Amino acid sequence: MTTQTQQQLSVRGHFQYHDVVGLLSAAGPGFSGPMSIALGSDNLLYVANRANPNQTEAVRVTKCTKDGDYVDQFAEWGEGEGQYTWVNAIEFNRRDELYLSDEHIQRISVFNMDGRFLRSFGEHGAGNGQWDRPAGIAFDPDDNLLVVDSLNHRVQKLTSQGRYIAQWGSYGESEGQFNMPWGIAIDAAGNHYVTDWRNDRVEKFDSEGRFLMAFGSTSSGEGEFNRPNGITVDAEGDIYVCDWLNDRVQVFDPHGGFKDILTGHSGTSKWARDFLDANPDIEVKLDLATQNIEPKMRFFRPVSVKVDQDHRVYVADCYRHRVQIYQKLG
């Protein structure tokens, strides 16, 4: 657990802050620009780090327990097999294969749970099975892969081996259209939820890509967005949306009705505490430099959200290099 003594509630009180995992680090225990979270069947967190162009050695996928114990890391910066440069999302299929979308190399890479590279597919273009900045990825109940093809303003469906099946979407603001879509999630019924980044909304489609509904508009009020990105749906059908430039995660009911807001309540992680215990002089300097700690507890560009079977919510707090964890109540 964190060193924070008082557990905090979300805006509407449906969630309680639970813990934080993280520390800015280029290797080992820590993250560097965590972009996406995947929940493994081994009960571990898999966190894909984007890092920055001047710190390519920090590009990797970090494996850790949900309590913050470091396990391993794999993948590295580059354009060869088993490498990536600009990760957007990671997700497991039903065979415990981890898929990674790389929007710079324009491909999907696949690894096993031990981090061994298996295969890759895709290329830049506008044809079937091609993409321009692949973003969010998800798997439907038949284990088909859904890829958000961001700059082609569409969603593509492929087999888990990368064979093209179907697509939907086009550029625009009308129902079923997109302007740089980002994230995607699939509910238990096979419906698809897509964050329409520049249109500041979420669109819902059935399993065949037929438009069902949309919710959201541009601003900072409840139910409004400023560049939504990561999205997930829990077992009860509640929808979680990372509201990127509003620095929060919003929660909606299955009909798109506003339900709650998570803003971040982070204390000091286990990794950070271990580091400070080993470097007490640094802790003194940090105490002097952080007299106003409140803003640093909050999210700063949340980008990915996942919910496990215990109703714990994991949020990749990208610019603060950590994963904040909430517990759903009731």
- pLDDT (tens digit, 9 = 90+) per residue, 258-280? 999 999 998 788 877 777 677 76
Question: In the chain, what percentage of residues exceed pLDDT 70?
Answer: 93
Q: At residue 283, does pLDDT exceed 70?
A: no
Dihedral over Cα of 68, 245, 39, 76: its sign? negative
Tally of CB atoms within 10 A around 325: 21
Q: Which domains does the chain have, with CATH numbers?
A: 15-20+93-99+124-328 (2.120.10.30)
Report the pLDDT value the prediction gives residue 54, as an integer from 0 to 100: 85
What is the average per-residue pLDDT within 179-205?
98
Q: Which residue has the higher pLDDT, 236 or 5?
A: 236
Contact residues for 100 (Cβ-Cβ < 8 A; gap 6+): 48, 61, 75, 84, 87, 89, 90, 108, 109, 110, 111
Flag whether pLDDT at 1 surpasses 50.
Answer: no
Q: What is the spatial distance between Cα 261 and Cα 182, in angstroms, rounded to a whole number?
A: 20
The answer, yes or no, to whether residue 53 has pLDDT greater than 90, is no
Task: Give per-residue pLDDT as tens, 80-111.
Answer: 999 999 999 999 999 999 999 999 999 999 99
Mean pLDDT to the nearest integer, 192-201: 98
Instruction: Name 173's bridge partners.
Output: none
**pLDDT confidence band for 286 (50 / 70 / 90):** low
Helices (H) and strands (E) in the chain, counts: 3, 28
Separation of alpha carbons 66 and 155, rounded Å: 31
Give 111-166 pLDDT, tens digit per residue: 999 999 999 999 999 999 999 999 999 999 999 999 999 999 999 999 999 999 99
